[in-house]
Amino acid sequence: MFCFYIIELISAKFFMDTDILQSLAHLDQSGNAQMVDVTHKPQTVRRAIAVCEISMKTTTLDAIQAGNVPKGDVLGTARLAGIMAAKQTANLIPMCHPLNLTSVDVKILLDENIPGYQIEAEVKTKSETGVEMEAMTAATIAALTLYDMAKSLEKTMIISNTRLIHKSGGKSGDFNAPKGEYCDI
């Protein structure tokens, strides 16, 4: 989907396809990126859930679970970092609107099959625009913080499968990722 968007954006700008440019609210008439004007959109309850995974050696996983990591509370610190990150999304992603978040919940779930952790971030607001990017930012930063906290034990940890699994509210309605190969939470 993202690749299609980039190709469409490049094609529209290169060929100045006005039909495509007009259909993309985040582009001005010249094809330049702009923040979408949400002034006249109604406020609705918005909710998004994003997940990602971090895999590691079982020795690293065991040390985290036992609380034997030199930097301290790995999971607690990663959870708090995810919450803080959701609140900073508009400062990190240029076209994201600053939002008044009403709830941010980050769960870090042990998954010995990976081996590692599944990270789930749920974000809510009552706003004119959605919180998908805030949820994905929270999950990703929690994973990066977990990596940072445990990198003295292992540098080969892998962060992967970051994805949106649920979105509700707003004009486009609800989205639920299909259960299966890429989404099993």
Judged by DSSP in three states, 55 sits in strand
Residues 109-154 have pLDDT tens digits of 999 999 999 999 999 999 999 999 999 999 999 999 999 999 999 9
User: Percent of the chain beyond pLDDT 90?
Assistant: 69
Active-site choice (105, 148, 174, 184): 148
Q: Where are the beta strands (DSSP E) in the chain?
A: 44-55, 101-111, 116-127, 158-168, 175-176
Nearest CA-CA partner of 81 in 54, 46, 111, 42: 54
Confidence of residue 8 (pLDDT cuts 50, 70, 90): low
pLDDT tens digits, one per residue of 15-52: 555 555 455 566 667 777 777 878 888 899 999 999 99
- Cβ atoms of 116 and 157 within 8 Å: the answer is yes
Is 148 annotated as catalytic? yes
User: Which tokens sit at 116?
Assistant: 């590692």
Distances (CA, A) of 31 to 7, 23, 96, 97: 13, 11, 18, 20
Q: Break the chain into its structural domains and give their ranges.
A: 1-34, 38-176
- Over the stretch 83-114, which tens digit does the pLDDT of each residue have? 999 999 999 998 999 999 999 999 999 999 99
Architecture of domain 38-176: 2-Layer Sandwich (3.30)
Q: What is the mean pLDDT of the chain?
A: 88
Instruction: Give yes or no for a cis peptide into 94 (omega within 30° of 0).
Output: no
